[in-house]
Amino acid sequence: MDKYIEMIRIRFLMMLAYRTNYYTGILIYCINIGAYYFLWSAIYSGKSAIQGMSIEQMTTYVAVSWMARAFYFNNIDREIAMEIKEGKVAVELIRPYSYLGMKTMQGLGEGVFRLFFLSLPGVIITAFLFPLHFSSDMSTWGYFALSIILSFVINSQLNLLAGVVTFFTLNNEGLLRAKRFVIDLFSGLILPISFYPSWAQEVMKYFPFQAISYIPSMIFTESFQGQAIIDGLLFQLVWSVILLIPLQLLWKAAKKRLVVQGG
């Protein structure tokens, strides 16, 4: 376990190695949340609630979605793809650790760093500018924390899956781009799932995407109450277990197929 914790620390150091990135990161979060705030206030103009959500809930939803995204989002798919493309994966395989496990830990290090050092300052700054509503109920915070951990797990599993596919295709820039777009769209980051037409909502029940952003944000804005919270968390938990299966199978096949490029 030691080595995995050490890896998180290393990731912190790496993120801190480039300070300009750090400051622009905070700025980007404020801009994103601000842009969505103005967009939604235009849509809401005059109406007190759409689909059962008030403007205040919606702004909070947007702010929280972005904050949660800072935590669950990572680039390990791209990193795996790059390591395979450049043949660096050879070096990873001579280390006594699980490659996918270590990648996940790097993602976690990155996520924790972004959550506390990028998005938290970002949200605090935006909280002064726009009306955000934070729950005072401790149990909501608790559910939310649990929920974004599961978001991280599911999103990382999808990233690992997409990354491992590179072992077979050796270049899958297109797939990674498509995956990123699909997750942003169907996870409820851009638009809450309850705003989609009902047939689309029905279809999305069979995909893991809403477990990534929609569920934790709905929990945080207290749009989910009682049983809905439990259902949401269960939905996340089930998916994070199911996704382990294709991941294991693909990884096993990938190791056999590995071609180290160059040298």
Q: How far is the CB of 44 from other proteins (least distance, A)?
A: 44
- Which residue, 90 or 204, is less far from other proteins as judged by CB? 90
Instruction: Decide if 184 contacts 174 (C-beta within 8 A).
Output: no
| Cα(103)–Cα(198) distance, integer angstroms | 37
Output the smallest distance, CB 154 to other proteins, in A: 26
Q: Which residue in 52, 225, 21 sits closest to 137, CA to CA?
A: 225
Count of residues engaged in binding other proteins, rule: CB under 8 A: 26
One-letter amino acid at 33 equals I
Q: Which is nearer to other proteins, 56 or 92 (CB)?
A: 92
CA-angle at 121, arms to 176 and 22, nearest 5°: 55
The residue from 42, 46, 47, 96 that contacts other proteins (CB under 8 A) is 96
Q: How many CA atoms lie within 13 A of 65 on its CB side?
A: 29
Q: Is 79 helix (H, G, I), strand (E, B) or coil?
A: helix
259 contributes a contact to other proteins by CB under 8 A: yes
Which range binds other proteins by CB under 8 A, 56-64, 65-73, 86-94, 153-161?
86-94
Report the candidate in 138, 159, 260 with the shortest Cα–Cα distance to residue 212.
159
Q: Which stretch binds other proteins (CB under 8 A): 41-49, 71-79, 89-97, 232-240?
A: 89-97
Chain residues that interact with other proteins, rule: CB under 8 A = 2-3, 6-7, 10, 13-14, 17-18, 87-88, 90-91, 93-98, 255-256, 258-260, 262-263
